[in-house]
Amino acid sequence: MRPRMQRMSYSVSVLIGVIVLVLSGCAPAVAPAAPQAAAPDTEAAVEVPAGLEELVAAAQAEGELTTIALPRNWCNYGEALDTFSARYGIKINELNPDAGSGDELEAIRANKDNKGPQAPDVIDIGFAFGPQAQAEGLIQPYKVSTWDTIPDEVKDPEGYWYGDYYGVMSFMVNKDVVQNTPQSWADLLSEEYNAQIALSGDPRASNQAILSVQNASLAAGGTLEDPAKGLEFFAELNNKGNLVPVISNNALVARGETPIRITWDYLALGGADEMAGNPPIEVVIPSDGRLAGVYLQAISAYAPHPNAAKLWMEFLYSDEGQIIWMKGYCHPIREPDLRARGVVPQELLDKLPDVSGAVFPTNDQLVQGKEVVVANWDSIVGANVTDAQ
């Protein structure tokens, strides 16, 4: 039985109490390297972290890593991908950056016998999808060397999946189009927002969109595990004509086609930086319901490049990797440890928004709520949310 993720206070002092910094001195398990892959030509000396020499050599022998669903402007993944590839001389195949968590699992299922570039090595999925992937045998266990600094509440004890970062649901608002910025979920029902509001995914497959419905339920006085009130909220939003049935992104916000985007705060804040005032963007953490969403990392059980996958995990969970995520406004899962040791630049700490009062769902709440949303979105809301044409 996996441990349940308890409701966690956003307070760093509380989180620090649940983790202890114990860097493992053991070298990680290394899968047999693919003999047909030649080691990349890396003229520059690679600084290998202590204890990872064998893993680095095996990963470089594989020569490639295949990722999926990693938009470069999501959590500053662009810098992470480029830094890892340049440092270790490993080519990265980036599949379908805009895929949802459900799509990631389907990509593993569809490519079990495929050792080519269409088979993902690693996945970054919503919390509710981790136990599902484990139950289906889609992922394999691996514990990074910083394992003990990841809170127990957000990792499988055997290492099948582990939290990577979290953010809070927000409203990203184009101020050239929207005169009065909504401050709450209830405000979104106003007639002044007709044909202006969009989700950032399909609620039948996207973790971000599913959690948006659960957040709306919380704001309407409902629960996370039975988000019926959230579905009713979006049904009303759709009936009023306020909901635009497309998957929103920063470009659609900038063009005014979806001037109010429901999305994670780190995506909204990163988008605001990219637009640099053209158009002006306001980011709001809603006052009547704040939901934190933890994402997970895992390695495919069928990974064509298992050693590169493990090295990628080591990189992401190093201090450097965690701070790269923080540059993209994400709260890395090891943030309490980083803060306690004083390794985070103050300017990064100052950039993070106040998300006090945010609720961290348990895994049971996430799984139960996901099932309700996926099963009932079509019948209750009736909006076919798809990519913009």
For 213-264, how does the pLDDT look when each residue is reduced to its tens digit (9 = 90+)? 999 999 999 999 999 999 999 999 999 999 999 999 999 999 999 999 999 9
**Residue 179's domain spans which residues?**
168-291+357-381
Ranking 63-72, 143-152, 356-365 by mean pLDDT, the lowest is 356-365
What is the tens place of the pLDDT at every residue in 293-319?
999 999 999 999 999 999 999 999 999
Cα 109 → chain centroid: 20
The structure tokens listed for 381 are: 């809301």
Q: How far apart are CA 381 and CA 57, in angstroms?
A: 52
> Whole-angstrom Cα distance, residue 274 to residue 207?
24
- Is the pLDDT at 198 greater than 60, yes or no? yes
33 belongs to a structural domain: no
Q: Residue 158, exposed/middle/buried by CB under 10 A (0-12, 13-18, 19+)?
A: exposed
Mean pLDDT of the chain: 88
Domain assignment present for residue 112? The answer is: yes
206 and 267 co-located in one domain: yes
What number is the average pLDDT over the span 101-125? 95
**pLDDT at residue 356 in the model:** 82
Per residue in 96-105, pLDDT (tens digit) is 998 999 999 9
The widest CA-to-CA distance across the chain, in whole angstroms, is 63
Any domain includes 131: yes
What is the predicted pLDDT for the residue at 8? 34
Same domain for 220 and 369, yes or no, is yes
- Phi, psi (rounded to 5 degrees) for 363: -65, -40
Q: How high is the pLDDT of residue 181?
A: 98
What is the token pair recorded at 17? 């109490």
Same domain for 218 and 242? Answer: yes
pLDDT digits (tens, 9 = 90+) for 43-85: 344 567 778 999 999 999 999 999 999 999 999 999 999 999 9
Predicted confidence at residue 357, as pLDDT, reads 86
Comparing C-alpha atoms, which of 171, 150, 201, 167 is closest to residue 328?
A: 167
Asked if omega into 279 is within 30° of 0 (cis), the reply is yes
CA 3 – CA 309 distance, rounded (Å): 25
Tokens at 30, concatenated: 């290394």
252-293 residue pLDDT tens: 999 999 999 999 999 999 999 999 999 999 999 999 999 999
Q: How far is CA 329 from CA 70, 175, 195, in A?
A: 15, 21, 29
Give me the number of domains the chain comprises: 2
Q: Which two tokens stand for residue 119?
A: 């088979």
Predicted pLDDT of residue 191: 97
Judge residue 58's burial from the number of C-beta atoms within 10 Å of its C-beta, 0-12 exposed, 13-18 middle, 19 or more buried: buried
CATH number at residue 345: 3.40.190.10
